[in-house]
Amino acid sequence: MTRPRNVRIVGAIVALPTVVGIATWLTIGSFAQELPDPVATHWGAGSAPNGFSSRMTGMLFPSLFAPIVGIVMGVVLWAAFRRAPQLRRWAGAMSGFLSGMIGGIGVASLWIQRGLTDARQATDTGVMISVGLAVGVVAALAGAAVMPGEAPGSVLAHEPVPGDAPRVTLAEGERAAWSGWSTSTPLVLGSLGAMVVPLVVLVLVGSSIGFALGVAVFVGLLMLTMSAFRVTVGANALWVRSVVGFPRFHTDLDQVVEARVVDVAPLRDFGGWGIRGDRHGRYGVVLRKGPALEVRRGDGSRFVVTVDDAAQAAALLNTLADRARTAQPR
């Protein structure tokens, strides 16, 4: 990996959380003299503060904790996904999101205490969570943008599709396409549960119904994005798109070394369900146990998606990759 790409990796998972931590400290410092001492640092049922610390500790904790959590998460995800090029940006995104969310909540939790003589009067927890989520999303987008993805040309296949790979018979000039769904009923049901649980919890601790409903819908939609994917083999590429359009993955035909069917046990092979990766360079959309389409790419990574009729998808993808090699010889 070239030096500029290494610089971007360090920037996404180390520099960005560090900047968030410094910004958190400077922002809190700009209004620190307006804060009570001690300040509230924890809230319980009914949005009532039930934990307190000195003003200095209240300033230091989010300023240090935000970058530490972001850097640790970024390093862990980079280690897990470094051989999965289409997942590398998740390391930068999660590093940014966690550091931004923690820093944002830290700033907001102290901002609502400005001018108070008694920190027990600070009860607007909805503002804290809203600001934290907003800052987290912005930092996640920044982290994903900084983190390098695939290097141009790095995943091109430079060898023919193996002769024993499955194929379909197509006449010269004949066009063909295939599509199917990768779905998970447990994840769909879990999405509904994810909408109900935060709604109930936030109402019980005293948040407004509107805010609680907003958080519930956000969490539910986030879960739904991972519950169903459209899988398409077309004239130019393999596309795997979430039911809401994002996340999505694609592999161009000139990147396909070989496609085949494998049997997947999510917990055994990938440690769980959803968008997963392993230390051997396999990654993809793993929503259920059973047959999956596995595509070996030019850089040695292997993309996996659990889908019905994976054998037909693999055969057509190999045939189209063969045709692409013939049309554009290397």
- At 229-255, the pLDDT tens digits run 899 998 888 999 887 777 888 888 888
Fold (topology level) of 152-181+228-330:
PH-domain like (2.30.29)
User: Most confidently modeled of 35-49, 73-87, 265-279, 291-305?
Assistant: 291-305
Q: What would the pLDDT profile of 130-146 be if each residue is shown by its tens digit?
A: 888 899 999 999 998 88
- Are 140 and 221 in contact, with CB atoms under 8 Å apart? no
Cα–Cα distance for residue pair 63/40, rounded to 1 Å: 16
Mean pLDDT of 31-52: 81
Band (330; pLDDT cuts 50, 70, 90): very low
More confident residue, 59 or 267: 59
pLDDT of residue 325: 77
Number of residues that make up the chain = 330
pLDDT value for 20: 95
pTM above 0.75, yes or no: no
**Residues 205-227: pLDDT tens digits?**
555 555 556 666 666 676 777 77
Residue 46 region, left (φ>0) first, then alpha (ψ -120 to 50), else beta? left
Q: Measure the CA dihedral 209/197/270/167, to 10°.
A: -70
- pLDDT at residue 82 greater than cutoff 80: no
Strands (E) in the chain, as ranges, are: 39-43, 49-53, 178-183, 228-233, 237-242, 248-252, 256-264, 274-277, 282-286, 290-297, 302-306
Burial class (CB in 10 A: 0-12, 13-18, 19+), 32: middle
Tell me which of 188-197, 211-220, 311-320, 321-330 is least confident.
188-197
Q: What is the pLDDT of residue 8?
A: 83
**What single-letter amino acid sits at 23?**
A
What's residue 91's pLDDT? 86
Token pair in block for residue 76: 């862990």
Q: Long-range contacts made by residues 75-84, C-beta under 8 angstroms, separation at least 24? A: 75/13, 78/9, 78/13, 80/277, 80/278, 80/279, 81/277, 81/283, 83/277, 83/279, 83/280, 83/281, 83/283, 83/300, 83/301, 84/277, 84/281, 84/282, 84/283, 84/301
Domain ranges of the chain: 3-146, 152-181+228-330, 185-226
More confident residue, 279 or 301: 301
